[in-house]
Each structure stands twice: as structure tokens, then as C-alpha cells.
Structure 1
Amino acid sequence: MASPDSPQSAAPPVLDKDGVRLTVEDTVATVTLTNPAKRNAQSPALWRALTEAGRALPGSVRVVVLRGEGKSFSAGLDRQAFTPEGFDGEPSFLDLARGADDVLDATIAEYQEAFTWWRRSDLVSVAAVQGHAIGAGFQLALACDLRIVADDVQFAMRETSLGLVPDLTGTHPLVSLVGYARALEICATGRFVGAAEAERTGLANLVVPGDQLDAAAEDLAAALLAAPRDAVIETKALLQGAVGRSYEEQRTAERAAQARRLRVLAGLGD
């Protein structure tokens, strides 16, 4: 895999627009945030491009790697969103706040779609995170199943400090990973979480030197591809549902999943 500032692949991108590039090599897709001059700050146009990237994935893709060009993964929401003018061709956030409740709710739901598809049962997503991952950038990293981080990573959830809340699907995985008390403290204070704490608390699966980040993501993608796809899908579904099930319900789910796998291996199922 290429370094953070070099081209990803000789193959033409499947999508390349509004700060998002999608490339596909066989069973691995790479989604790259491509506006390093603005530290990959996010906007509604970028969110729509991320949603489009998810919809454009070929059925052959099993692993998706998310990365950002430059020194920062993503410094969060572009502050232009809070100006009276907002972004060209977009309603400003202030205008949305003054509008109808159903329109505001539908608009936020549309923005959230950029953050939801990374946990699809048929994929495993890996965020390769370096430098700042702030606010929406932190939530985008949390949207993925797994996170590999560079040793210079700085996570922060700054929404509460701005009088807002994290609303791009980040609260559920954050609480699941670090627990309620630590999640509240991280969000309410807006403080930075560095690499050592991220690894210790479960935010990061692996910490590596910055110049090894892409190679580590490539190695993890290869390891994830080693097991049969259907077995990974069944296992992911079991783990995703475990929190919402009782111990006995999880035992039942395990038996049902294993029965399906055994029948497949015996040539009795799809």
C-alpha cells in the first residue's frame, strides 16, 4: 500500500470527487480522504461522496481500508459550515436550524449515511489514522470495525465544547469501546486522546510508527482475507449482536450460526 502522500494504485479510481477517492483491487477497497491542504476537513459534499463510495463497492470487496492523505486523518467539520454563508449550493447549518423539524432531522439522517455502511455485515472496515482525528474525523474512524493508528494520533470529540453533540453515529461505538464513564469524560472535556491511551482503552487495535501505517493496514487486510468470507460474515454478525443479547440468547445464536456453517461445509447449504 502506498505512503500517505503517494498514489494508491495504478488502477483508475471507481470514484474521485469532493475530497473522496475510492479505488478497488480485487477484494480490497481503499477509501481515501484527499484534501490534505485543509487537513481533510469534512462537509456535506464529502459526506455524500462517502455514501456514494459505499454504494459503489463491487460485490467482490471483503475489506475496506479508510485513510487520509497528509499529516491529519481528518480535522473534523469544516468551520465554514457555521458561517452564515455556509457552503456553496448548500443550506447553512444556521438556516437548517431555523427550518422545520422534519427537514432538519432528515438532513442529519442523510449526513449520517456516510458513517453507517462501514459496519455492513459483508465487509470488514479498517481505519488507518494518523495525526488529528477530531470531531467528525473521530466519528469517521469510529464508524469502522477496526482502527490502526500512527503513534502521533490525536483523537478528540469537540462537539460538546462547541455547544453541540456528536451526531454522526460516533456515540454508540465510543461507549462500546471505552465504557460510559470514559466516553462521557472524553466528550464533555473535548480533550485529546493519544496513541498509548487509544491502544490501552480499545480505541486502537494497533499502534505503529507513522511511516508504517499503510503497510500495517495492508497486512491486516491480508490477514482478514485469510478466513473464508462466509465464516467471517457469520462471526461478525455474532459479535455485533452480542451486546444486545442475553448470555442464553447468544448461546442460541452461536448454535444457529454454527449449524449453518457445518451444513455448508458438508455440502448441504449455500
Structure 2
Amino acid sequence: MSADHLAEIGLRYEVDGEIATVTLDRPDKRNAQTFATWSALRSIGDALPEQVRVVVVKGEGPSFSAGIDLRMFSDEGVPGQGSFGSASSQDDDSLKQAVDKAQQGFLWLRRPDIVSVAAVQGHAIGAGFQLALACDLRIVADDVKFCMKEPALGLVPDLTGTKPLVELVGLAKAIDICLTARVVEADEAYRIGLAEQVVAAGDLAGAVAEKAAQLLSTDRDAAAATKRLLQGASGRTLDEQRAAEGAEQAQRLKALFGGRS
């Protein structure tokens, strides 16, 4: 996907060595997302260069993302993209396929071979909140405002955000956040585990760059293997997890010392 086409959608994508940066770039719309945003995110993930180890996701301007472009709720919709109303005329299977395609723009951020870092400032509402949740780590500015707005709009969060939210904050807190559609600010986000680090807004870029450098300081293959172990841990018993550790370690030892007598 060309830079010009991404710019039309409201995205920027840059690769600098082992770091890729995806920027939501519609600051006049507080980086609101559309069907085209999700399709472009999926395409970026599909074409991610093999050398990339860290992916930074950020928003241009004062907000990370204010969520869904409200034109998607209108009869006219987004020019060339339609609306939720036009999409709802499809049968159930087609609707589920459309949701699945949108979700693919978020799922790739969890791949074991990369670490994704959301740099979040200002509003992270609905789809914006879920994009931050799709990332492995969230470094936030002290003006951040998380909000899961979908239930207040008659919708459910469907961009892969519900599972990480529950895993991060627990079921009761996730119910509270989603079913009240209330705002979670920086102090609470850090306290309940939504954010790994809170910094002044002017220090956000520097904090993310420092974290990327730290992540790149570890061995690439060992980092990927460790992330696979951590991602699978909650679904395994202790015996299953230690077996998985042994299998991964056997591969690492072979890679490091294989062939030595």
C-alpha cells in the first residue's frame, strides 16, 4: 500500500531498521477510524518487513484516537466506504466476515516475532481504546482518557479488545469500564494495569523511544520464544507450561550450541 494511499485514509507508516511506526494521521478528526483504517492496518501487518522487531502505534495531534468516525452511523456514511446502516443489510455470515476482516487489522500486533507499543495521549475511545489494547505495551501521557464507548452506542467492543481488557484488569473492573462507558484517566490506568508507564505529554515520544531501545537489546529469537511462552501461560496448567518452557529451551540450546562437541 503506497504512502499516498495511506495518507488518503489517514495513516502514516515508516520503517527505520528494526522499528516500524504506524501513525493515525487525522488530527482534525482526532484520528477517528473507518472501515478503510482497519483494512489498511491489516495490509500493513501483512507486509511488515521481516527485520522489524518493534512496532510503535501512535496518533498525530492531541488524541490517540477518538474511536469510530461518526459518519459511519449516518445514512450517507463515509464517502466510498458506506455506513453501519448499509453494512447491516447483509446476512449474518457476511456481517461476521466483515467484522473478522476488521479484526485482522488488530490481531497482527500480537505476533510473537514483534513487540507492539502503543504511545497513547489524549482520547483513546472505543476503537482507539481497543487499538491500544491490541498492543503488548501501553505507554501513556498524563492527559490520557480511555473509554469503551461502544455499549453506550448500542454496540459491543468487537475489535479484539475485550479479552486483553479482562486479562489486564479483571472481569469486575472490565464490566465496570465497559458497561458504564466511563473515562479512565492516567492515574487509574496505571494503577489497574492498563498502562505500563505514565509520562508527561511532552515526554511521550522519548519514553517510547527508550522502551524500543530496551526491547531491541535482547536476543531476537529468545524474545520471540519468551513472548510465545508468556502468551500461552494463562491457558496452560503449571505442568503444561513447564513442558512448553522445556520445548522452547531445547530449541534455543540447539540454536546456540548445536554442533559443538
- Please classify the TM superposition score into its range, dividing by the shorter chain length: over 0.9
Matched, 1:45 2:42: no
**What is the distance in 1 between the residues matched to 2:165 and 2:242?**
26
Given candidates 99, 108, 122, the residue that maps to 1:108 is 99
Residue correspondence of structure 1 range 174-185 to structure 2 within 5 A: 174-185=165-176
Relative to 1, partners in 2 of residues 1:84 and 1:268: Cα closer, same or farther, differing over 3 Å? farther
Given candidates 35, 39, 54, the residue that maps to 2:26 is 35
Given candidates 66, 74, 89, the residue that maps to 2:65 is 74
* Secondary structure of the structure 2 residue equivalent to 1:98: coil
Question: Which residue of structure 2 lines up, in the alignment, with residue 93 of structure 1?
Answer: 84
1:53-89: CA deviation from partner (whole Å, max 9, x where unpaired): 1122111000000110000000000110010111122
Matched, 1:136 2:132: no
In structure 1, stretches of 5+ residues that fail to align are 1-11
* Secondary structure of the structure 2 residue equivalent to 1:87: coil
Cα displacement (A) at 1:267:
3.0
Structure with bigger helix share is 2
Relative to 1, partners in 2 of residues 1:112 and 1:185: Cα closer, same or farther, differing over 3 Å? same
Cα displacement (A) at 1:90:
2.2
Relative to 1, partners in 2 of residues 1:249 and 1:238: Cα closer, same or farther, differing over 3 Å? same
Contact 2:72-2:82 within 8 A present in 1 as well = no
1:153-208: CA deviation from partner (whole Å, max 9, x where unpaired): 00000111111110000000000100011001100000000111111111101000
**What is the distance in 1 between the residues matched to 2:147 and 2:62?**
16
**What is the distance in 1 between the residues matched to 2:4 and 2:211?**
23
**Could you tell me the TM-score, scaled by structure 1's length?**
0.92
Cα displacement (A) at 1:268:
4.3
Q: Percent identity?
A: 57
**What is the distance in 2 between the residues matched to 1:179 and 1:38?**
32
Matched, 1:169 2:154: no
Given candidates 1, 11, 16, the residue that maps to 2:6 is 16
Matched, 1:217 2:208: yes
**What is the distance in 1 between the residues matched to 2:42 and 2:11?**
10
**What is the distance in 2 between the residues matched to 1:161 and 1:92?**
18
Matched, 1:259 2:255: no
Matched, 1:196 2:179: no
Given candidates 199, 204, 207, the residue that maps to 1:208 is 199
Structure 1 stretch 154-163 or stretch 49-58: which is displaced more? 49-58
1:71-111: CA deviation from partner (whole Å, max 9, x where unpaired): 00000001100101111222321122222111111111111
**What is the distance in 2 between the residues matched to 1:252 and 1:136?**
37
What's the Cα RMSD here?
Answer: 1.5
**What is the distance in 1 between the residues matched to 2:10 and 2:162?**
25
Contact 1:15-1:22 within 8 A present in 2 as well = no
Question: Which residue of structure 2 lines up, in the alignment, with residue 119 of structure 1?
Answer: 110
Cα displacement (A) at 1:14:
9.7
Contact 1:139-1:168 within 8 A present in 2 as well = yes
Structure 1 stretch 83-92 or stretch 111-120: which is displaced more? 83-92
Contact 1:73-1:129 within 8 A present in 2 as well = yes
Question: Which residue of structure 2 lines up, in the alignment, with residue 8 of structure 1?
Answer: none
**What is the distance in 2 between the residues matched to 1:105 and 1:84?**
21
**What is the distance in 2 between the residues matched to 1:268 and 1:121?**
27
Aligned residue pair count: 258
Relative to 1, partners in 2 of residues 1:225 and 1:55: Cα closer, same or farther, differing over 3 Å? same
**What is the distance in 2 between the residues matched to 1:162 and 1:19?**
24
Relative to 1, partners in 2 of residues 1:89 and 1:13: Cα closer, same or farther, differing over 3 Å? closer
Cα displacement (A) at 1:22:
0.7
Question: Which residue of structure 2 lines up, in the alignment, with residue 231 of structure 1?
Answer: 222
